[in-house]
Chains A and B, each alone.
Chain A
Protein backbone atom coordinates (compact mmCIF):
# COMPACT_ATOMS: atom_id res chain seq x y z
CA UNK A 1 0.00 0.00 0.00
CA UNK A 2 2.65 2.47 1.04
CA UNK A 3 4.61 1.60 -2.11
CA UNK A 4 1.68 2.93 -4.15
CA UNK A 5 1.72 6.25 -2.30
CA UNK A 6 4.02 8.07 -4.79
CA UNK A 7 1.74 6.88 -7.58
CA UNK A 8 -1.29 8.40 -5.87
CA UNK A 9 0.67 11.61 -5.41
CA UNK A 10 1.39 11.55 -9.13
CA UNK A 11 -2.31 11.00 -9.93
CA UNK A 12 -3.16 13.95 -7.70
CA UNK A 13 -0.78 16.20 -9.64
CA UNK A 14 -2.24 14.97 -12.96
CA UNK A 15 -5.74 15.74 -11.67
CA UNK A 16 -4.62 19.24 -10.62
CA UNK A 17 -3.02 19.81 -14.01
CA UNK A 18 -6.17 18.62 -15.79
CA UNK A 19 -8.32 20.89 -13.64
CA UNK A 20 -6.09 23.83 -14.55
CA UNK A 21 -6.53 23.15 -18.26
CA UNK A 22 -10.27 22.69 -17.88
CA UNK A 23 -10.61 25.84 -15.76
CA UNK A 24 -8.78 27.96 -18.30
CA UNK A 25 -11.15 26.89 -21.06
CA UNK A 26 -14.15 27.78 -18.89
CA UNK A 27 -13.44 31.48 -18.48
CA UNK A 28 -11.75 34.33 -20.28
CA UNK A 29 -8.48 34.94 -18.51
CA UNK A 30 -8.43 38.54 -19.68
CA UNK A 31 -11.72 39.25 -17.98
CA UNK A 32 -11.39 41.33 -14.82
CA UNK A 33 -14.63 41.30 -12.79
CA UNK A 34 -15.82 44.82 -12.22
CA UNK A 35 -16.00 46.06 -8.61
CA UNK A 36 -18.78 48.41 -9.75
CA UNK A 37 -21.53 45.77 -9.92
CA UNK A 38 -24.39 46.76 -7.58
CA UNK A 39 -22.80 50.15 -7.01
CA UNK A 40 -24.12 53.45 -8.35
CA UNK A 41 -22.85 54.27 -11.81
CA UNK A 42 -20.22 57.01 -11.65
CA UNK A 43 -21.56 60.49 -12.23
CA UNK A 44 -20.85 61.68 -15.74
CA UNK A 45 -21.63 64.60 -17.99
CA UNK A 46 -20.84 63.89 -21.62
CA UNK A 47 -21.77 65.56 -24.91
CA UNK A 48 -24.08 63.90 -27.42
CA UNK A 49 -22.58 62.69 -30.67
CA UNK A 50 -25.39 64.11 -32.80
CA UNK A 51 -25.31 67.51 -31.07
CA UNK A 52 -22.10 68.24 -29.10
CA UNK A 53 -23.62 71.41 -27.62
CA UNK A 54 -25.99 69.23 -25.59
CA UNK A 55 -24.77 67.10 -22.72
CA UNK A 56 -26.20 64.01 -21.06
CA UNK A 57 -25.66 63.32 -17.38
CA UNK A 58 -26.16 60.24 -15.26
CA UNK A 59 -28.87 61.99 -13.26
CA UNK A 60 -30.80 62.90 -16.41
CA UNK A 61 -31.03 59.20 -17.27
CA UNK A 62 -32.43 58.18 -13.86
CA UNK A 63 -35.92 56.71 -13.72
CA UNK A 64 -35.72 53.82 -16.15
CA UNK A 65 -33.16 51.12 -16.85
CA UNK A 66 -30.81 51.40 -19.82
CA UNK A 67 -27.84 49.65 -21.35
CA UNK A 68 -24.56 51.47 -21.91
CA UNK A 69 -22.57 49.98 -24.78
CA UNK A 70 -18.96 51.14 -25.07
CA UNK A 71 -17.83 51.22 -28.70
CA UNK A 72 -15.37 52.89 -31.01
CA UNK A 73 -14.91 52.97 -34.77
CA UNK A 74 -11.30 51.76 -34.35
CA UNK A 75 -12.39 48.75 -32.32
CA UNK A 76 -12.48 45.59 -34.44
CA UNK A 77 -14.50 43.54 -31.94
CA UNK A 78 -17.12 46.34 -31.85
CA UNK A 79 -17.54 45.89 -35.60
CA UNK A 80 -18.21 42.21 -34.99
CA UNK A 81 -20.66 42.98 -32.21
CA UNK A 82 -22.47 45.65 -34.20
CA UNK A 83 -24.68 43.42 -36.40
CA UNK A 84 -25.89 41.63 -33.25
CA UNK A 85 -26.97 44.94 -31.73
CA UNK A 86 -28.64 45.91 -35.02
CA UNK A 87 -30.58 42.64 -35.11
CA UNK A 88 -31.41 42.19 -31.43
CA UNK A 89 -30.97 45.60 -29.84
CA UNK A 90 -34.67 46.41 -29.97
CA UNK A 91 -35.65 43.04 -28.52
CA UNK A 92 -33.98 43.58 -25.15
CA UNK A 93 -36.60 46.13 -24.16
CA UNK A 94 -34.41 48.84 -22.67
CA UNK A 95 -32.84 51.84 -24.44
CA UNK A 96 -29.24 51.40 -25.53
CA UNK A 97 -26.92 54.31 -24.90
CA UNK A 98 -23.87 54.17 -27.16
CA UNK A 99 -20.71 55.23 -25.38
CA UNK A 100 -18.26 56.40 -28.02
CA UNK A 101 -14.88 55.73 -26.45
CA UNK A 102 -11.67 57.56 -27.42
CA UNK A 103 -12.85 58.11 -30.93
CA UNK A 104 -12.93 61.02 -33.35
CA UNK A 105 -16.59 62.17 -33.63
CA UNK A 106 -16.30 62.28 -37.43
CA UNK A 107 -15.08 58.69 -37.52
CA UNK A 108 -17.88 57.60 -35.18
CA UNK A 109 -20.53 59.31 -37.29
CA UNK A 110 -19.17 57.80 -40.48
CA UNK A 111 -19.05 54.36 -38.83
CA UNK A 112 -22.66 54.60 -37.67
CA UNK A 113 -23.77 55.92 -41.08
CA UNK A 114 -22.10 52.98 -42.81
CA UNK A 115 -23.12 50.15 -40.48
CA UNK A 116 -26.38 51.50 -39.08
CA UNK A 117 -27.20 52.98 -35.69
CA UNK A 118 -28.59 50.60 -33.05
CA UNK A 119 -28.41 53.25 -30.31
CA UNK A 120 -31.18 55.36 -28.87
CA UNK A 121 -28.58 57.96 -27.99
CA UNK A 122 -24.82 58.24 -28.36
CA UNK A 123 -22.58 60.02 -25.86
CA UNK A 124 -18.98 60.94 -26.52
CA UNK A 125 -15.96 60.42 -24.30
CA UNK A 126 -13.15 61.47 -26.59
CA UNK A 127 -10.52 61.68 -23.84
CA UNK A 128 -11.53 58.44 -22.15
CA UNK A 129 -11.50 60.20 -18.78
CA UNK A 130 -15.02 59.19 -17.67
CA UNK A 131 -14.35 55.67 -18.94
CA UNK A 132 -11.73 55.31 -16.19
CA UNK A 133 -14.47 55.94 -13.62
CA UNK A 134 -16.47 53.16 -15.27
CA UNK A 135 -13.46 50.86 -15.15
CA UNK A 136 -13.47 50.44 -18.92
CA UNK A 137 -10.32 48.75 -20.16
CA UNK A 138 -11.25 47.60 -23.60
CA UNK A 139 -14.12 48.02 -25.99
CA UNK A 140 -16.68 46.62 -26.39
CA UNK A 141 -18.06 46.61 -22.87
CA UNK A 142 -21.68 46.90 -21.77
CA UNK A 143 -23.23 48.06 -18.52
CA UNK A 144 -26.82 47.49 -17.47
CA UNK A 145 -27.93 50.39 -15.28
CA UNK A 146 -31.19 50.20 -13.35
CA UNK A 147 -33.79 52.93 -12.75
CA UNK A 148 -31.96 54.09 -9.63
CA UNK A 149 -28.69 54.48 -11.51
CA UNK A 150 -27.08 51.35 -10.09
CA UNK A 151 -24.91 49.15 -12.31
CA UNK A 152 -26.45 45.68 -12.22
CA UNK A 153 -24.60 43.76 -14.86
CA UNK A 154 -21.47 44.18 -16.90
CA UNK A 155 -20.39 42.37 -20.00
CA UNK A 156 -16.72 42.60 -20.92
CA UNK A 157 -16.33 41.81 -24.57
CA UNK A 158 -18.90 41.31 -27.29
CA UNK A 159 -22.59 40.88 -26.69
CA UNK A 160 -23.26 37.74 -28.66
CA UNK A 161 -26.77 36.33 -29.29
CA UNK A 162 -25.95 33.70 -26.67
CA UNK A 163 -24.89 36.26 -24.04
CA UNK A 164 -27.96 38.40 -24.75
CA UNK A 165 -30.35 35.46 -24.29
CA UNK A 166 -28.61 33.80 -21.34
CA UNK A 167 -27.25 36.75 -19.36
CA UNK A 168 -28.53 40.13 -20.45
CA UNK A 169 -32.23 39.35 -20.86
CA UNK A 170 -32.51 37.50 -17.52
CA UNK A 171 -30.76 40.46 -15.84
CA UNK A 172 -33.27 42.84 -17.40
CA UNK A 173 -36.17 40.56 -16.44
CA UNK A 174 -34.90 40.63 -12.84
CA UNK A 175 -35.05 44.44 -12.92
CA UNK A 176 -38.61 44.36 -14.18
CA UNK A 177 -39.63 42.11 -11.30
CA UNK A 178 -38.30 44.61 -8.76
CA UNK A 179 -40.14 47.60 -10.17
CA UNK A 180 -43.36 46.48 -11.83
Chain B
Protein backbone atom coordinates (compact mmCIF):
# COMPACT_ATOMS: atom_id res chain seq x y z
CA UNK B 1 0.00 0.00 0.00
CA UNK B 2 2.77 2.34 1.02
CA UNK B 3 4.69 1.52 -2.17
CA UNK B 4 1.57 2.26 -4.20
CA UNK B 5 1.12 5.63 -2.48
CA UNK B 6 4.76 6.44 -3.01
CA UNK B 7 4.63 5.70 -6.71
CA UNK B 8 1.39 7.66 -6.98
CA UNK B 9 3.07 10.64 -5.32
CA UNK B 10 5.98 10.28 -7.75
CA UNK B 11 3.63 10.26 -10.72
CA UNK B 12 1.90 13.39 -9.43
CA UNK B 13 5.24 15.09 -8.86
CA UNK B 14 6.34 14.30 -12.40
CA UNK B 15 3.04 15.57 -13.75
CA UNK B 16 3.46 18.82 -11.81
CA UNK B 17 7.00 19.12 -13.14
CA UNK B 18 5.66 18.75 -16.64
CA UNK B 19 3.23 21.60 -16.15
CA UNK B 20 5.87 24.04 -14.89
CA UNK B 21 8.39 23.07 -17.57
CA UNK B 22 6.46 25.27 -19.98
CA UNK B 23 6.58 28.77 -18.56
CA UNK B 24 3.18 30.33 -19.02
CA UNK B 25 2.47 33.97 -18.39
CA UNK B 26 -1.05 35.26 -18.42
CA UNK B 27 -0.61 37.45 -21.48
CA UNK B 28 -3.78 38.87 -23.01
CA UNK B 29 -3.62 37.54 -26.56
CA UNK B 30 -6.38 38.83 -28.77
CA UNK B 31 -6.74 35.54 -30.68
CA UNK B 32 -5.18 32.11 -31.08
CA UNK B 33 -3.13 33.13 -34.14
CA UNK B 34 -1.35 35.82 -32.13
CA UNK B 35 -0.56 33.34 -29.38
CA UNK B 36 0.82 30.84 -31.91
CA UNK B 37 2.99 33.56 -33.42
CA UNK B 38 4.23 34.56 -29.96
CA UNK B 39 5.06 30.97 -29.05
CA UNK B 40 6.92 30.40 -32.32
CA UNK B 41 8.89 33.64 -31.99
CA UNK B 42 9.93 33.08 -28.38
CA UNK B 43 11.02 29.54 -29.27
CA UNK B 44 13.52 31.01 -31.74
CA UNK B 45 15.06 33.30 -29.11
CA UNK B 46 17.58 32.23 -26.54
CA UNK B 47 17.38 33.01 -22.86
CA UNK B 48 20.48 34.91 -21.70
CA UNK B 49 20.43 33.62 -18.13
CA UNK B 50 19.99 29.88 -18.64
CA UNK B 51 21.77 29.80 -21.92
CA UNK B 52 20.58 26.48 -23.25
CA UNK B 53 16.91 27.27 -22.97
CA UNK B 54 14.71 29.29 -25.25
CA UNK B 55 12.67 32.26 -24.15
CA UNK B 56 9.41 30.35 -24.36
CA UNK B 57 10.46 27.65 -21.91
CA UNK B 58 12.66 29.57 -19.51
CA UNK B 59 11.47 30.39 -16.03
CA UNK B 60 14.21 32.94 -15.42
CA UNK B 61 13.15 36.37 -14.29
CA UNK B 62 14.79 38.05 -17.27
CA UNK B 63 13.10 35.62 -19.67
CA UNK B 64 9.74 36.65 -18.25
CA UNK B 65 10.64 40.32 -18.76
CA UNK B 66 11.79 39.65 -22.32
CA UNK B 67 8.62 37.70 -23.12
CA UNK B 68 6.59 40.67 -21.93
CA UNK B 69 8.79 42.92 -24.06
CA UNK B 70 8.26 40.72 -27.13
CA UNK B 71 4.52 40.73 -26.47
CA UNK B 72 4.43 44.53 -26.20
CA UNK B 73 6.43 44.90 -29.42
CA UNK B 74 3.90 42.61 -31.13
CA UNK B 75 1.12 44.83 -29.83
CA UNK B 76 2.89 47.80 -31.42
CA UNK B 77 2.61 46.02 -34.76
CA UNK B 78 6.31 45.15 -35.11
CA UNK B 79 7.21 42.29 -37.45
CA UNK B 80 9.08 39.19 -36.26
CA UNK B 81 12.27 40.45 -37.90
CA UNK B 82 11.95 43.84 -36.24
CA UNK B 83 11.47 42.21 -32.85
CA UNK B 84 14.51 39.99 -33.38
CA UNK B 85 16.58 42.99 -34.45
CA UNK B 86 15.41 44.86 -31.35
CA UNK B 87 16.80 42.10 -29.15
CA UNK B 88 19.97 41.65 -31.23
CA UNK B 89 20.69 45.39 -30.81
CA UNK B 90 20.69 44.88 -27.05
CA UNK B 91 21.97 41.35 -26.55
CA UNK B 92 23.91 40.61 -29.78
CA UNK B 93 23.37 37.68 -32.17
CA UNK B 94 23.60 35.42 -29.17
CA UNK B 95 19.83 35.67 -28.64
CA UNK B 96 19.17 34.07 -32.01
CA UNK B 97 19.13 30.29 -32.19
CA UNK B 98 19.64 30.63 -35.93
CA UNK B 99 22.83 32.66 -36.36
CA UNK B 100 23.03 34.94 -39.42
CA UNK B 101 25.62 34.33 -42.14
CA UNK B 102 28.40 36.91 -41.79
CA UNK B 103 32.18 37.00 -41.71
CA UNK B 104 32.38 35.82 -38.10
CA UNK B 105 30.06 32.86 -38.68
CA UNK B 106 31.37 31.66 -42.05
CA UNK B 107 33.34 28.86 -40.41
CA UNK B 108 30.27 27.83 -38.43
CA UNK B 109 28.08 27.73 -41.52
CA UNK B 110 30.45 26.30 -44.10
CA UNK B 111 33.07 24.51 -41.97
CA UNK B 112 31.19 21.18 -42.04
CA UNK B 113 30.84 21.43 -45.83
CA UNK B 114 34.58 22.09 -46.18
CA UNK B 115 35.39 19.08 -43.98
CA UNK B 116 32.95 16.94 -46.00
CA UNK B 117 34.59 18.00 -49.28
CA UNK B 118 38.06 17.34 -47.87
CA UNK B 119 36.93 13.86 -46.82
CA UNK B 120 35.40 13.25 -50.24
CA UNK B 121 38.68 14.32 -51.88
CA UNK B 122 40.68 11.90 -49.71
CA UNK B 123 38.27 9.05 -50.55
CA UNK B 124 38.38 9.92 -54.25
CA UNK B 125 42.20 9.98 -54.38
CA UNK B 126 42.51 6.74 -52.38
CA UNK B 127 40.01 4.89 -54.59
CA UNK B 128 41.72 6.14 -57.73
CA UNK B 129 45.15 5.06 -56.51
CA UNK B 130 43.90 1.62 -55.51
CA UNK B 131 42.10 1.02 -58.79
CA UNK B 132 45.19 1.94 -60.84
CA UNK B 133 47.43 -0.36 -58.74
CA UNK B 134 44.83 -3.14 -59.08
CA UNK B 135 44.70 -2.54 -62.81
CA UNK B 136 48.51 -2.62 -63.04
CA UNK B 137 48.53 -5.89 -61.06
CA UNK B 138 45.91 -7.43 -63.34
CA UNK B 139 47.77 -6.40 -66.54
CA UNK B 140 50.93 -7.95 -65.04
CA UNK B 141 49.05 -11.24 -64.79
CA UNK B 142 47.53 -11.00 -68.19
CA UNK B 143 50.24 -12.61 -70.34
CA UNK B 144 50.12 -15.86 -68.33
CA UNK B 145 46.28 -15.81 -68.39
CA UNK B 146 46.31 -15.43 -72.14
CA UNK B 147 48.79 -18.21 -72.46
CA UNK B 148 46.51 -20.54 -70.44
CA UNK B 149 43.46 -19.65 -72.52
CA UNK B 150 45.05 -20.38 -75.81
Contact = CB atoms under 8 A, between A and B. Distances in A.
10 contacts: A32-B48, A35-B91, A36-B90, A128-B62, A132-B69, A132-B90, A133-B90, A135-B92, A137-B62, A138-B48
Interface of B: 48-49, 51, 61-62, 65-66, 69, 88-92, 94
Contact of A35 (B49, B65, B66, B89): B89
Given A34-B92, A36-B90, A132-B66, 4 more contacts: A32-B48, A135-B91, A137-B62, A138-B48
Interface in A21-50: 29-30, 32-36
Interface in A112-133: 127-129, 132-133
A134 interface: yes
Contact of B51 (A30, A34, A127, A129): A30
Given A32-B48, A137-B48, A102 B61 contact: yes
Given A32-B48, A132-B69, A137 B61 contact: no
Nearest to A9: B122
Contacts, number: 36
B48 A35 contact: no
Contacts of B49: 137-138
B47 to A, nearest CB: 9
Contacts of B90: 35-36, 132-135
Interface string A134-177: 11011000000000000000000000000000000000000000
Contacts of B88: 35
Interface residues of A, number: 17
A128 B62 CA distance: 8
Interface string A57-79: 00000000000000000000000
Contacts of B91: 32, 35, 135, 137
Given A137-B49, A137-B62, A32 B69 contact: no
Interface of A: 29-30, 32-36, 102, 127-129, 132-135, 137-138
Contacts of B66: 132
A35 B102 CA distance: 15
Most-contacted residue by chain B among A29, A135, A137, A138 (CB, 10 A) = A137
A36 B51 CA distance: 20
Contacts of A135: 90-92
Contacts of A29: 51
Nearest to A74: B61
Contacts of A128: 61-62, 65
Nearest to B95: A32
Given A137-B49, A138-B48, A138-B49, A32 B94 contact: yes
B73 to A, nearest CB: 11
Nearest to A39: B89
